Structure 1
Amino acid sequence: MDDDSSGGPGAQWRVRGVSVEGYRHRRTGTPCQDAWLYTVSGPPEDSVTVLAVADGAGSRARSDEGSALAVRLAVECFTRRSAEVPPTASGVRAALREAFLDVREEFLRRTGDESNDFATTLTVAVLTPRWIGYLSVGDGFVVLRAGTVDGVRQFHLLPQPAAASEYSNETVFLTSTDAERWVRTACVRDPEVDGVLLSTDGLAQIALTWVDGQPQQPRASFVAAMLRTLDSPGADPDEDDEALAVLLRSDKLTAVNADDKTLLRAVRP
């Protein structure tokens, strides 16, 4: 995948998302501080799908409200900016940054002097017929499914934002003073992309492989399974979502990470 290959034909995406509260929050009765949202705009042959996930800071009093506000603003602002994108990779990345600034400005306006109480990360993917855009601040991540090698599906982790410091537990939030400095963007033009997975960091240890404390690549078995359930959904999508929620709350996944967990997935049928 690169910035120079041509985009594929317009296509509608099948999208489903699930967020579950982590073990600590279930034990204390604290609401889930993750959020997700998506929107589809434009005609079917030229539609734009915007996907957003956010992870509210666990130590902040109103972070669950912050994550919900962040994804609402993201789908609005990134949809609007996508209509203004010049047909170049640099133009896409510039538009993504402008959309981020729109989100941040409105978020700070609405939360005012208490903005730090609403602190949250934000990860966004914009799916268009010609390009896929990605922006992240904080520790969310995006994996793309694109093509095969010798009949084996290939998965690609989009670039992660740099760590804010040498301490892995320090995260940059939408409300951080220098948030724009830590934003990471990417533009992908690859007609073989037919699956997209966004997640908050509660699934990072399960969905990614790690070396020296840094994520390296997708864990193909996990990501493939998560997208495959959307490729071949059951008769009742709500039942599928509930089955996924049960898995995300399972002892096996909780033993690896007890935080809230979110999966937002999109596939081309």
Structure 2
Amino acid sequence: MGRGGASARAGGEWRTHGVSVEGYRHRRTGVPCQDAWHSAQFRTGSGDRIVVLAVADGAGSRPRSQEGAQLAVRLATEHFGREAAQLRVPAGEAVHGLLHSAFQSVCREFLVAVEQTGAPAQDFATTLTVVVITPDWLGHLSVGDGLVIVRAGTDEDGIPLFHLLPQAAAASEYSNETVFLTSRDAGRWVRTDCVDDPGIDAVVLSTDGLTQAALTRFQTPNASFLAAVLGPLETSAKDPDTEEADLAELLRSDRLSAVNADDKTLLRAVRV
């Protein structure tokens, strides 16, 4: 992913922070934000740390999608973290199997939970994007249109490089229809990746409300935006409450709302 970075996943700690804000459309109509995020840390039997990051985008047309998104990210951190901590698998095909297994567990528990409400499962429709960081690999699973960008290595001038991980496929080659956890055969459209690069020192997850900010018109990572949102997390000098308020203000700004009026979620993790 570029020239080797000085930091490695095996050393240091990960600092995480996320924010979800309602988009312009929802602010105007008084509808709450239907995005959600969650992060959690786990320990393996040998004491190694596992970090799990998850974001979800509830379907705007569904009446209980906010609940669906919140449920999805909580289940994702629980199941992905538990499986990664219990099964110390090497980088490669075994990681894909672990990610699919955890996803199936999430789907089963998600459907059981929503069925108990008596409402149709589709009322809780949501996308899901998950990243699992272990000392040996970074795993990524997505269903729907979330984004994952990692920072690893530098160019010839020493400038950090950002890399967009492949996104999940659309429901068909003829459609950009978003796939949800509750979609028929959702498992067919799941995308998994295993990245074996010890130089990864930052990860950004977002829902599609930030696509135009996080990516350039060439669909490559927007380094200036990413560096700006990661910078405050890499120093302990700033007050966390002030930092969160500043980030929320940025995500609600007229500049970002003008290019995308959807809800916006940004979940960041940096090696410190």
Tell me, yes or no, if the aligned pair for 2:9 and 2:134 is still in contact at 8 Å: no
CA-to-partner distance for each residue in 1:213-243, whole Å, 9 max, x for gaps?
Answer: xxx3211111111111211244311110100
Does the 8 A contact of 1:36 with 1:68 survive in 2? yes
CA distance in 2: counterparts of 1:139 and 1:188, whole angstroms: 19
Aligned counterpart for 1:179 among listed residues 186, 190, 203: 186
* 1:78 aligned partner: 80
Matched AA of 1:62: R
2:120 is matched by which residue type in structure 1? E
Q: Return the alpha-carbon distance in structure 2 between the equivalents of residues 88 and 132 of structure 1.
A: 8
Write out per-residue CA displacement over residues 28-67 of structure 1, whole angstroms, 9 at most, x where no aligned residue.
Answer: 1111000000001117961001000000000000000000
Change (3 A) 1:160 1:41: same
When the two chains are superposed, the root-mean-square deviation of aligned CA atoms in Å is: 1.7
The whole-number CA distance in structure 2 between the counterparts of 1:266 and 1:120 is: 23
- The correspondence of residues 39-188 of structure 1 with structure 2, limited to 5 A, is 39-42=40-43, 46-82=48-84, 83-112=86-115, 114-150=120-156, 151-165=158-172, 166-168=174-176, 170-188=177-195
Kindly indicate whether the alpha-carbon contact (under 8 Å) linking 1:145 and 1:156 is maintained by their aligned counterparts in 2.
yes
Stretches of structure 1 that go unaligned for 5 or more consecutive residues are none
**Which moves more between the two structures, 53-62 or 235-244?**
235-244
Tell me if the contact between 2:131 and 2:141 (Cα under 8 Å) persists in the aligned partners.
Answer: yes
3-state DSSP of counterpart to 1:217: coil
Say whether residues 1:22 and 2:23 are aligned partners.
Answer: yes
Shift of 1:254: 0.2
Correspondence for 1:225: 228
What is the SS of the residue equivalent to 2:28? helix
The alignment's TM-score, normalised by the length of structure 1, stands at 0.92
Shift in Å, 1:209: 2.5
Maintained 8 Å contact 2:91/2:196: no
Q: CA deviation at 1:114?
A: 1.5
* Paired residues, number: 260
Offset at residue 77 of structure 1 (A): 0.4
Partner of 2:34: 33
Contact 1:85 1:95 in 2 (8 A): no
Matched letter for residue 261 of structure 2: A
CA apart distance, 1:193: 0.5
Q: After the TM superposition, which of the residue ranges 90-99 and 158-167 deviates more from structure 2?
A: 158-167
Runs of at least 4 residues off by over 6 Å: none
For normalisation by structure 2, the TM-score amounts to 0.91
SS at match of 2:120: helix
CA distance in 2, matches of 1:175, 1:56: 11
- Separation in structure 1 between the aligned mates of residue 20 and residue 242 of structure 2, nearest angstrom: 15
SS at match of 1:235: coil
**C-alpha distance in 2, partners of 1:210/1:114?**
38
Q: Within 2, Cα distance between the matches of 1:34 and 1:8?
A: 28
Q: Percent identity?
A: 60
Equivalent pair of 1:17/1:36 in contact (CA under 8 Å): yes
